[in-house]
Amino acid sequence: MTYRPTSTARLTLAGTAAAALAVSAVLLPGAGAATAAPASPAHQAKAAAALAARLGNRAAGSYYDAASRRLVVNITDPSAAQQVRDTGAVPRVVRYSTAQLHTVIADLAKQARIAGTAWVIDPRQDKVVVTADPTVTGAKRARLGAAVKALGDRAALRHTASPFKLLVAGGDAIWGSSVRCSLGFNVTVDGAPYFLTAGHCGNASSTWSDSGGGAEIGQTVDSRFPGTDYALVQYDDSSSAPASEVDLYDGSTQEITGAADAYVGESVERSGSTSGLHGGSVTGLDATVNYEEGSVSGLIDTDVCAEAGDSGGALFDGSSAIGLTSGGSGDCTSGGETFFQPVTAALSAEGATIP
């Protein structure tokens, strides 16, 4: 029988005075004004991204507020409020623009690129949140603390109880020469079948099978880690038509019909053979994690839990592919933080599409 793998996320490898206010202001529509039903969160996020490009330094990120079912768009110039409302979003005046917070990230990259740390812009707080795991001690902890303190209220430091790590361990998805990894999403390149997984998986093996000691089903043709974290594997059987779906671990699957960019506040799910199906939300974008094995940037930060054995698999929102599991901290008993490689970036780099 022809092997027809599915994208089951079997995760086994693991200016203005107003703008200067300390308390930001949300500029709500006037009382009694007619309010149209909000568009879908994804539509609002897409419109906000286009608006941010037009606003330039006056834009300061955005996030979806589930209670109001509206996207909140941060701005540093109150005169841009109506442009935000015109997209169906809610404007919020904050102190720091995205460009200003990116200078914070650049400073951290120069002064505090220490294994066991991570940082991400948090649009809800309008600052860069820096996290240190328990391995950051002594002189390294003092160095990190000094670097964050020098950034003033543009950054905040917090600590996590467990180390940041690539989620490397057992499971039952795809097997390399010395590791077991996770198939993320099936894709096509020039009509031929491939799949995406984590780059640290691709670095570990050039060939893959669907069982321990089984026959080869594919070969790694490109692998990117550190820096980013994705790999492209080509199926040996060029005539195969792998299903594009994710295992929901209740006997059913979710069809995957395309890919989408994540947005802060988005509700997402992660499917994995180690810990099953778990959900949560996107808490940040363009995150940097300094693993012991190397630094990765441009990641999606979430509060979705994951465990050893969950690397490489699928983060999704309904029928949209969102990310590939990279690593994180914590577990699915006590909770945790997990980072994902954006699927759209991997697809673009490889010239691939979701079937």
Q: Which residues form the catalytic set?
A: 200, 229, 311
Q: Which residue in 281, 268, 264 sits closest to 72, CA to CA?
A: 264
Q: Nearest-5° angle of CA 54, CA 59, CA 61?
A: 120
Count of beta carbons in the 10 Å neighbourhood of residue 189: 15
Three-class DSSP labels, the chain: CCCCCECCCCCCECCCCHHHCCCCEECCCCCCCCCCCCCCHHHHHHHHHHHHHHHHHHEEEEEEECCCCEEEEEECCHHHHHHHHHCCCEEEECCCCHHHHHHHHHHHHHHCCCCCEEEEEECCCCEEEEEECCCCCHHHHHHHHHHHHCCHHHEEEEECCCCCEECCECCCCEECCCCEECCCEEEEECCEEEEEECHHHHCCCCEEECCCCCCEEEEEEEEECCECCEEEEEECCCCCCCECEEECCCCCEEECCEECCCCCCCEEEEEECCCEEEEEEEEEEEEEEEECCEEEEEEEEECCCCCCCCCCCEEEECCEEEEEEEEEEEECCCEEEEEEEEHHHHHHHHCCECC
Q: CA-to-CA distance for 159 and 131, rounded, in angstroms?
A: 5
